[in-house]
Amino acid sequence: MRTSPHKPGPRTRSSAEVLLAVGEPFGAGLCEFPRKSPIERYARAWRRWLEQAPLPAYDGGSLYPRGPAGASDAAVRPNYSFTVNWSREGLMAKASAVSPEERPHLEALASLLDREQSDLPGLNPRHTVGGAAYTHAIVGYDRVLREGLNAYRQRVRAGLARATTAEARAFQRAMLDMLRGIRTWHARVVAAVRASPGDASKRRRLLGALARVPFRPARTFYEAMVAYNLVYYLDGGDNPGRMDQMLMPFYRDPDDEAEALALLGEFADHVSAVRGWSAALGGTRPDGAPAYHALTGIVMRATRGRFRPSLELRVRRDMPDAVWEAAFDALASGNGQPAFYHEEAYLEGLREAKLGIAEEDLSLWNGGGCTETMLHGCSNVGSLDAGFNLPLILSDSLTRHLCDGATFDGLVAAFENDARAEIRDTLRRLNDHLAARARLRPQPMRSLLMDDCIERGRDFNAGGARYNWSVVNVAGLANVADALTALRIVVFERGEWTPDRMRTALAGNFEGQENLRQRLAACPKFGNDDPQVDDLARRLAECVYDEIAAQPCVRGGRFLPSHIMFETYATAGASVGALPDGRRAGEPLADSVGPVQGRDRNGPTALLRSVARLPLRRAIGTPVLNLRFARTLCAGAEGRSRLRALIETFFRMGGMQVQVSLLDRDDLEDAMLHPEKHENLIVRIGGYSTYFNWLSPELKREVIKRTEYGL
């Protein structure tokens, strides 16, 4: 009897194939080679993402891509801060909608990511004000412009040839995979432009530039801008960095000013579309000479009326008058740009921080994210990695230690001891988290684009960058200084209230004790040039900075203190009980390094004197200071002259940073009632500008509370 030959059944699809089919390319790459190293798995995830993730629609402009990617239901995506951003709920919802054969692969992906997450030690939830192991960065745009990515391939192959360990070889193989993914993505970008309707001449010019960049060196300003934009999108839309310095070698003809202005304006729209971050201007060249030139002013002109990128103007004593005028013109547009940074103080502060920065690299400093201090193209900086809630520590400390028999000096010492203990515990847990992340969650895109990862054969998260440190936030310093000052006066100097009764009043949130609350609120407050409260603030700051500096940083370098409270100061007080400055439980904290909103009543000079009494250079991560003036301040020469004098005086006193909002209280209050009339109203928050309408109602009220100065 003859039998028919065996016919094999349908081949079982792999997890990677199933995940690609259901629209999860990043997850598919993670599962493609489960036995490979984390850097190889995440590089393959990136490659699959670049090959398949939707591109934004081409809008006919001179630069592309622009704006968020097209619609995608992917529940797992790359993330420039945490490596991967994923939604368990999204994966499970998709699992319930696919075939029974496909469902286990989605469930397995969720389990894989769950296991990775559970292997990352937890952070201290009490101290994440503005920061919870975030990592902004500024990649090496300029190297891509100068060399092109074809040269990167040569660097990677050279690294592979000299690799002596399996780990180093895996890293270099991962970089080659990234380059293959980028080439496919680039081909998709070209195809999207070619297939789109619109101005044929613009498309031809853009396609001509794309035929060269980013794989070969840029030759013209236009090619440089096209390449810059491409790298910005590859990095996920984080920080543009030192744009005026990096693009200036390509700005060879002053007759091209109009085109440069248009291209930089278009790029600013791209940054705004993805809510990107910071660019520093001016300052110092590697040889120590001033770094102000035509593009410094053009970038400020290009961003007038736009809320991003956040501009950081590095102010030297010899900054030209024309640059001051360009800055005031930009401010007058109502976008809160630029903020002003004391160049000499930052350079000296970075030297004093003992971060091992080569003198020629100091000129690369740039605030990233909100404004955390890092170096363009060669640094990995936790930003922000943690945020110490000083009022929360004080509230708990008073509950334990404020009782009859206590002394004021004893209370301050107890608070300082409690603060030191919380700092040590928080940074120990953070170090454990970062060490695990270096093992489990590599960053292949940043490893490719950041010096010196390729040469070291090490991932960005595992010490591959040339410089590595961490910026941590210090929240509510003014609240604590105000509270302890009021306690000293009312309880310990004048005996108007016993310690036990004060503790009871605080525990009851001043219920039935409004007279006491008003008495405490009337005590001296930080921000009014009063040495008795300012000197206490300085003592507390030194204690906190000392303890932060004393802790080892597993990332490398050191922990750098900062005061950056962007949108977080409204919610950071939610867990904080009532304080003896008259603040009720749950109310917002002070904005960054400045006073509690509305408590500075003696004018801007008094405020600046108070802030300048702090050891600001030790808060080199950036001590943000917000000032608000009437909208008309920069309308005339006299107002501009006074504002310049105020900024220069503050810097001579030791100030580090100041940012100015030109807003009228009436406009802000009307915007609360009629937001539809104020869609373009921009306010400065922490280290960046944003639309007033995007703020929470609570934060809007806090912005309105800021003292509005006249000069």
Summarize pLDDT for 26-67 with one digit per residue, the tens.
999 999 999 999 999 999 999 999 999 999 989 899 999 988
What is the C-alpha end-to-end distance of the chain, expressed in Å? Answer: 107
Q: Are 109 and 24 in contact (CB under 8 A)?
A: yes
Q: How far is CA 476 from CA 49, 339, 616, 647, in A?
A: 41, 22, 15, 24
Q: Backbone phi, then psi, for 412, in 5-degree steps?
A: -65, -45
CA atoms within 13 A on the CB side of 58: 22
Q: Hey, which bits of 136-195 come out as E strands?
A: none
Among all chains, which residue has been given the structure tokens 């006073």? 595
Among all chains, which residue has been given the structure tokens 């809510």? 275
In three-state secondary structure terms, 597 is coil
Kindly report, residue by residue over 512-536, the tens digit of the pLDDT: 999 999 999 999 999 999 999 999 9
Q: Which of 589, 603, 581, 585 is nearest to 533 (CA)?
A: 581
Minimum mean pLDDT range among 43-57, 68-82, 478-492, 683-697: 683-697
pLDDT score for 686: 61
Give CA angle at 471 (459, 86), nearest 5°: 55
| Two structure tokens written together for 660 | 């100015």
Q: Are 499 and 404 in contact (CB under 8 A)?
A: yes
| Two structure tokens written together for 495 | 């005996």
DSSP 189-211: HHHHHHH--S-HHHHHHHHHHHT
pLDDT score for 315: 98
Kindly report, residue by residue over 644-669, the tens digit of the pLDDT: 999 999 999 999 999 998 876 777 77
Whether the predicted pLDDT of 9 surpasses 60: no
Give CA angle at 639 (633, 643), nearest 5°: 90
Q: Confidence band (pLDDT; 50, 70, 90) for 2? A: very low
Q: Are 110 and 19 in contact (CB under 8 A)?
A: no
The whole-angstrom separation of Cα 615 and Cα 534 is 11
Residue 638's Cβ-count burial label (10 Å; 0-12, 13-18, 19+) is exposed
Q: Which residues does 34 contact at the CB level (< 8 Å), separation at least 6?
A: 41
The whole-angstrom separation of Cα 147 and Cα 365 is 22
Q: Are 36 and 166 in contact (CB under 8 A)?
A: no
Kindly report, residue by residue over 356-369, the tens digit of the pLDDT: 999 999 999 999 99
Instruction: Tell whether the torsion through CA atoms of 156, 157, 162 and 166 is positive or negative.
Output: positive
Whether the predicted pLDDT of 426 surpasses 50: yes
Q: Which of 323, 320, 567 is nearest to 311 (CA)?
A: 323
CA dihedral 624, 627, 632, 637 (to 10 degrees): -70
Residue 291's Cβ-count burial label (10 Å; 0-12, 13-18, 19+) is buried
Q: Where do runs of H (alpha helix) occur along 313-389?
A: 321-332, 343-352
The whole-angstrom separation of Cα 278 and Cα 256 is 25
Q: Which residues does 231 contact at the CB level (< 8 Å), separation at least 6?
A: 139, 141, 144, 214, 449
Q: What is the DSSP letter of 708?
A: E
The whole-angstrom separation of Cα 585 and Cα 395 is 10
Q: Are 621 and 472 in contact (CB under 8 A)?
A: yes
Kindly report, residue by residue over 90-136, the tens digit of the pLDDT: 999 999 999 999 999 999 999 999 999 999 999 999 999 998 999 99
The whole-angstrom separation of Cα 85 and Cα 225 is 29
Among all chains, which residue has been given the structure tokens 């009326």? 305
Which run of H or E residues covers position 166?
Answer: helix 166-195
Kindly report, residue by residue over 193-209, the tens digit of the pLDDT: 999 887 889 999 999 99
Whether the predicted pLDDT of 175 surpasses 80: yes
Look up the pTM and report it.
Answer: 0.93
The whole-angstrom separation of Cα 78 and Cα 70 is 15
Give me the count of residues in the chain.
Answer: 711
Whether the predicted pLDDT of 486 surpasses 90: yes
Whether the predicted pLDDT of 461 surpasses 80: yes
Kindly report, residue by residue over 213-259, the tens digit of the pLDDT: 999 999 999 999 999 999 999 999 999 999 999 999 999 888 889 99
Instruction: Tell whether the torsion through CA atoms of 433, 437, 438 and 439 is positive or negative.
Output: positive
Residue 405's Cβ-count burial label (10 Å; 0-12, 13-18, 19+) is exposed
Whether the predicted pLDDT of 423 surpasses 80: yes
- Taking residues 496-510, report their average pLDDT: 96
Amino acid at 461: N
Q: How far is CA 559 from CA 441, 458, 647, in A?
A: 21, 22, 28
Whether the predicted pLDDT of 400 surpasses 70: yes
The whole-angstrom separation of Cα 39 and Cα 29 is 12
Q: Which of 467, 454, 447 is nearest to 38 (CA)?
A: 447
Whether the predicted pLDDT of 3 surpasses 70: no
Contacts made by residues 349-358, CB under 8 angstroms, sequence distance 24+: 349/617, 349/618, 349/620, 349/656, 350/620, 352/617, 352/618, 352/620, 353/558, 353/560, 353/620, 354/558, 355/467, 355/469, 355/557, 355/558, 356/467, 356/557, 357/467
